[in-house]
């Protein structure tokens, strides 16, 4: 059976394949060097991190998939012969798509290749089938020279040609940041929350560099802000977090941590829903700042990206049991 015979069922059932780690990813990583171009700045004010509840988010993704993803044959092939776009995530025994022969992920370059060739390629094909008006959009790698060894950024954006004939990204709508798993898999599950009074004075912020988790938030904030792109995804392929900044860039809403083989919803469903929401399509989520009666309740957490992204057990426990946490200001 072709994927396009029952696209809804495919998205419900398809799990990302396991990504084998290379030797470097499984070993000890070096600390981040000083010359990464990120330091504490007065203008970078992330005052609140809001965690979106797990169950309502899953329900909304499921309802959106049921309402907007067809379950009847579309009358097209799984692969677009003109563009080469196709579904790449296998879903046996119903959709036995041949597995791509990718190398073990030993560095951020290969991790990003897994992300690009599996979930992003399948989401690209789905978006262009469901929303023909989005055919000018695609995922593309961005030039982030200041931290190439440590992360990659892909953008969902349009591509235009300049007068000199060069390709240029425009209308960047969603940013995806990929990091090598080896940098974070050995981190303690007991990373502390930002405490009251932890924000350094201006003189201290100029003198001392950022901690690693603050560096991560700063890179995400700076990149999104400079491109006026509020919607983002942070992933190591093994783990995924979906987020969106408030219109004034002082708050961020982040999902729970999802594993690559997550079900109900799957990573493909989550990615598709997040891209559709970023595009402003019907049925997508609107953050509370732009829609007061949001269907998704949130919790106000004082957290670094380490807490919400890499501390899987703590993040899930907070979402599940409704931990009461006050809003505090990360020292960015």
The model's pLDDT over 131-179, given as tens digits with 9 standing for 90+, comes to: 999 999 999 998 754 446 678 999 999 987 777 767 778 999 999 999 8
Q: Dihedral sign for Cα 296, 302, 306, 312, please.
A: negative
The residue-averaged pLDDT of 124-128 equals 98
- Give residue 183's pLDDT band: very low, low, confident or very high (50, 70, 90): low
CA distance 323 to 314: 10
Q: Dihedral sign for Cα 21, 24, 25, 28, please.
A: positive
The larger pLDDT score, comparing residue 225 to residue 190, is at: 225
The residue-averaged pLDDT of 186-206 equals 32
What lies within 8 Å, CB to CB, of 5 at 6+ separation is 73, 74
The residue-averaged pLDDT of 37-41 equals 53
- Give residue 234's pLDDT band: very low, low, confident or very high (50, 70, 90): very high
CA distance 282 to 69: 12
The residue-averaged pLDDT of 80-94 equals 96
For residue 192, what are its two tokens? 């502390």
What lies within 8 Å, CB to CB, of 107 at 6+ separation is 22, 24, 25, 149, 180
pTM value is 0.78
Looking at residue 63, its pLDDT comes to 97
What lies within 8 Å, CB to CB, of 249 at 6+ separation is 45, 46, 221, 225, 230
Looking at residue 216, its pLDDT comes to 74
The model's pLDDT over 64-85, given as tens digits with 9 standing for 90+, comes to: 999 999 999 999 999 999 999 9
- The two beta strands, 258-259 and 239-245, are antiparallel
Residue 13 CB burial class (10 angstroms; 0-12, 13-18, ≥19)? middle
Does residue 248 register a pLDDT over 80? yes
CA distance 243 to 35: 27
Give the C-alpha distances (Å, rounded to integers) separating 36 from 130, 144, 149: 40, 10, 10
Q: Which residues of 152-172 are buried (b: 16+ CB within 10 A; e: fewer)?
A: bbbbbbbeeeeeeeeeeeebb
Verify cis geometry, omega within 30 degrees of 0, for the bond prior to 260. Answer: no
CA triple 314-315-316, angle to 5 deg: 90
**Can you give the C-alpha Rg of the chain in angstroms?**
20
The larger pLDDT score, comparing residue 297 to residue 130, is at: 130
């Amino acid at each position: 059976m072709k994927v396009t015979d029952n696209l809804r069922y495919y998205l419900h059932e398809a799990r990302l394949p396991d990504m084998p780690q290379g030797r470097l990813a499984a070993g000890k990583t070096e600390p981040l060097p000083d010359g990464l171009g990120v330091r504490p700045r007065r203008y970078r004010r992330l005052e609140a991190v809001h965690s979106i509840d797990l169950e309502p988010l899953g329900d909304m993704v499921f309802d959106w998939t049921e309402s907007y993803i067809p379950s009847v044959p579309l009358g097209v092939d799984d692969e677009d012969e003109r563009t080469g776009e196709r579904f790449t995530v296998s879903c046996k025994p119903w959709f036995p798509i041949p597995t791509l022969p990718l190398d073990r992920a030993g560095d951020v370059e290969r991790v990003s290749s897994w992300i690009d060739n599996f979930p992003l390629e399948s989401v690209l094909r789905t978006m262009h089938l469901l929303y023909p008006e989005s055919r000018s959009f695609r995922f593309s790698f961005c030039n982030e020279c200041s931290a190439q060894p440590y992360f990659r950024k892909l953008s969902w954006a349009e591509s235009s040609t300049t007068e000199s004939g060069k390709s240029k990204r425009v209308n960047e709508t969603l940013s995806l940041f990929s990091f090598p798993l080896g940098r974070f898999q050995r981190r303690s599950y007991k990373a502390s929350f930002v405490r009251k009074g932890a924000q350094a004075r201006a003189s201290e912020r100029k003198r001392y560099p950022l901690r690693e988790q603050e560096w991560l938030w700063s890179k995400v904030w700076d990149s999104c802000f400079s491109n006026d792109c509020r919607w983002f995804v942070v992933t190591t392929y093994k783990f995924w977090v979906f987020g969106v900044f408030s219109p004034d860039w002082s708050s961020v809403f982040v999902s729970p941590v999802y594993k690559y083989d997550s079900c109900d919803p799957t990573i493909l469903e989550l990615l598709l829903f997040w891209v559709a929401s970023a595009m402003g399509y019907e049925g997508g989520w609107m953050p509370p700042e732009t829609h007061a009666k949001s269907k998704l309740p949130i919790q106000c957490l004082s957290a670094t990206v380490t807490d919400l992204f890499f501390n899987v057990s703590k993040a899930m426990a907070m979402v599940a049991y409704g931990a009461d946490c006050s809003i505090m200001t990360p020292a960015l």
